[in-house]
Structure 1
């Protein structure tokens, strides 16, 4: 009985865009386009090896066929059949080899098309084409969530050209030449302004607070809930959780979002000035303080660390993934962020990360850069309507609340998407499901600004 070929048999493999999972849009991870292409290119390279082997077998089959010619006269019938069989074998091998070559070539052609499309899209974005970032209502500057803000930040040079009265064509050229806005450079330039010197990073001191034994849920939603509960009643504090698992230890660092100062630039390093340090200076001083807090909590060198942060805290958490001094001391294996602009941060190889964003939250787009699509980096965009508490009015910060991201994390845990499944499995393998753990609070204090004496 003839075998039935599977649907799609004979077609060249092509990556597929991840399918939305309910209200979640997922990008990156093992189901992401980039990793699929990496897998296909690796497969194409393996096919090249098979093609080389088949070429050698094909040559050998032809050699056998030619070697049979002198014996054909001895037994014409059997000799002819042997020659024909050897020839058909060589032709079958050639057909398989050519098909494998065609599949490999098609995969590479598909990858080239993808790279061209990505480059074309990037050029259009730099020229300010193809993306509408302003609202269509009575107020054209009514920005529509994360993507709108990200587009505006990217397109700031062109917008400034408009504001200076340049013709649209000239403004487009100016924007293309300038390229996407470097938010870090803008913040460093602001800090250099005499009137904004209070934004300049200053040394951060660490003092130990209370240490308790308590039940901790180490799932994504559980850690965000723990972060929400303790940050709501603290100022300038981070939490370090010691996790005992399989005879070893792992550590979780929980970093709150921005806590407005009065005035900014005071003793709390997580105030508005902390945003400048995070985006403009790679969290240089805060990273040192987190390392000191881990040391005082009892973390030994080379032990596993997971960093969790909301908003500004997520930037500090993600900056640890590229901090050479921190990575030389501890094995940072995973970063979880909620509502954080971290697209411009490139983590060290082998560090996994999960980024939760909401399409109506403008904060994740504040750096003007989308998160990279890689095997170890997964970005989840929530598209569900913002649920309001009784008496709560919809405002610009409604989608940014950490409680919203707890809801999203619960959806992530229930998702069957392969990228999210791999990401949550990685986190579970590092920390387990939770239980009673030692939780330590640490107060971070920014040193007072130095005062110049009057001449």
Structure 2
């Protein structure tokens, strides 16, 4: 939080929200609070080290003063002056050391006060979400108005335990990791449902490549351009894109993953149907990741070549899951993840992987996992606050805030922002993918295996389950150059 009254102005410093950058509300990155907190503590540690060095110098100066005592009688005037000068030097060093130690204490106190303020504001935000009757008092705290995305996120985080009880999830499955008997999260609820008879569709099943098509074309590698490709890819059922960019000293790669598709393939065989959401949130996209690994290999990607992943809505879940999959990262140098309208707050990438997440305050989908994206140095979350037109009921879908066109417009604003966090994040993406131009584009059509007969009675860890398969096993049978089914209808999830 910024201070409304600067130091030395005579006013009482009060926390206030940082100014929005146009329609962008930015959290995380080099300008984020968490990084600033880290900088405060790093500065305090540096001051501590300097104070220790001065303390040693102070002791040495006093030792010099004492060493001069035996020589004072040789020349009383000059000897005395030397002793006095050494003593004054020692005391001057001591005064500077004391000031540094005081400054260090003040920096640490400032860090504690900032953390307290953030905890207080977080508590007030929770009260505001849970207690609508506090509405008249809400403005007194100077807090921002509540948005659909925040309310949904909070309700999901609190109601998942009730959902587990309502649906009869076993107690062992309902306990979150490291919290025996505690309230489950979305992951635990999905896994609990997956083991129940009648919900086999929620269990992961092998995803295979059934066809591919390669062509050369001009590619816009800006955030808006890459998100637009996710929308174009989503018009054909079960497809992803792999881009090879040759503008640098070595090839760079981009994987583009679309949002949810509700038809266009035989029921249950499109990996980006509703079952794909369950696989992404409940099982870390293990089967989709295996297919993406195989697609990258077929496109020619090699170890050590830089890679970015881009996903819209459900596609963003799969893209972020790549960033925490150790087997995938052992093969490919994933450096950046870009998502839009995706519930990815509960996914923690491996250190060193940068990510940029676009959300809209009136889009409830990013809050569907019940977890806010963390504020860290390498992770920037942008909340769009622009006003939206309400479409006709027939075209309402998941709401105007979730439309891809809204996010591409937001991505254009991100590219033009001068905010430190955004400039750093977009520069990292540009350094990876270059300025755009000619690229080799390969579209892969993916299909999920149909459920095996009597799969309801098979344990998830039985032989032949996903954990026992080689993720790079090649598909059998004929490969068709045409996707199955009619042209898909894209559901923006």
Among candidates 305, 308, 318, match of residue 306 of structure 1: 308
8 A Cα contact 1:133 1:148, kept in partner:
no
Q: CA deviation at 1:36?
A: 1.4
* Counterpart residue number, 2:259: 257
1 CA distance for matches of 2:71 and 2:278? 86
Distance 1:48 1:144, change over 3 A: closer
* Counterpart residue number, 1:356: 358
Deviating more after overlay: 48-57 vs 417-426: 48-57
Q: Deviations over 1:336-371 (max 9, x none)?
A: 000000011010111100000000000000000011
* Counterpart residue number, 1:372: 374
Distance 1:366 1:115, change over 3 A: same
Instruction: Tell whether 2:84 aligns with 1:104.
Output: no
8 A Cα contact 2:160 2:184, kept in partner:
yes
* Counterpart residue number, 2:188: 185
2 CA distance for matches of 1:385 and 1:123? 27
Distance 1:219 1:157, change over 3 A: closer
* Counterpart residue number, 1:275: 277
Q: CA deviation at 1:260?
A: 1.4
Among candidates 329, 332, 352, match of residue 330 of structure 1: 332
Among candidates 416, 419, 424, match of residue 418 of structure 2: 416
Instruction: Tell whether 2:65 aligns with 1:62.
Output: no
Distance 1:296 1:197, change over 3 A: same
TM-align CA RMSD:
3.3
Deviating more after overlay: 190-199 vs 21-30: 190-199
Q: Deviations over 1:204-240 (max 9, x none)?
A: 1113322111110111111112222232x31110011
Q: Deviations over 1:254-289 (max 9, x none)?
A: 000111148996110100111000000000100000
Deviating more after overlay: 98-107 vs 432-441: 98-107
2 CA distance for matches of 1:389 and 1:116? 42
8 A Cα contact 1:153 1:180, kept in partner:
no
* Counterpart residue number, 1:239: 241
* Counterpart residue number, 1:169: none
1 CA distance for matches of 2:312 and 2:453? 33
2 CA distance for matches of 1:178 and 1:26? 36
Q: CA deviation at 1:378?
A: 0.5
1 CA distance for matches of 2:313 and 2:118? 28
2 CA distance for matches of 1:261 and 1:401? 19
Q: How does 1:4-403 map to 2 (within 5 A)?
A: 18-115=18-115, 129-132=127-130, 144-156=147-159, 181-231=184-234, 233-261=235-263, 266-387=268-389, 396-403=398-405
User: TM-score by structure 1 length?
Assistant: 0.84
2 CA distance for matches of 1:100 and 1:116? 24
* Counterpart residue number, 2:436: 434
2 CA distance for matches of 1:67 and 1:17? 58
> What secondary structure is seen at the aligned counterpart in 2 of 1:288?
helix
Deviating more after overlay: 287-296 vs 29-38: 29-38
8 A Cα contact 1:18 1:32, kept in partner:
no
Q: CA deviation at 1:67?
A: 2.9
Q: Deviations over 1:12-55 (max 9, x none)?
A: xxx99754211111111111111112222222222222112111
Distance 1:112 1:366, change over 3 A: same
8 A Cα contact 1:204 1:285, kept in partner:
yes
2 CA distance for matches of 1:265 and 1:391? 26
Among candidates 427, 431, 446, match of residue 448 of structure 2: 446
> What secondary structure is seen at the aligned counterpart in 2 of 1:47?
helix
8 A Cα contact 1:214 1:436, kept in partner:
yes
* Counterpart residue number, 1:3: none
8 A Cα contact 1:17 1:32, kept in partner:
no
8 A Cα contact 2:190 2:202, kept in partner:
no
Q: Name structure 2 gaps, 5 residues minimum.
A: 1-5, 9-14, 136-145, 167-178, 456-493
8 A Cα contact 1:264 1:272, kept in partner:
no
8 A Cα contact 2:354 2:378, kept in partner:
yes
> What secondary structure is seen at the aligned counterpart in 2 of 1:240?
strand
8 A Cα contact 1:28 1:376, kept in partner:
yes
2 CA distance for matches of 1:410 and 1:425? 14
1 CA distance for matches of 2:425 and 2:237? 31
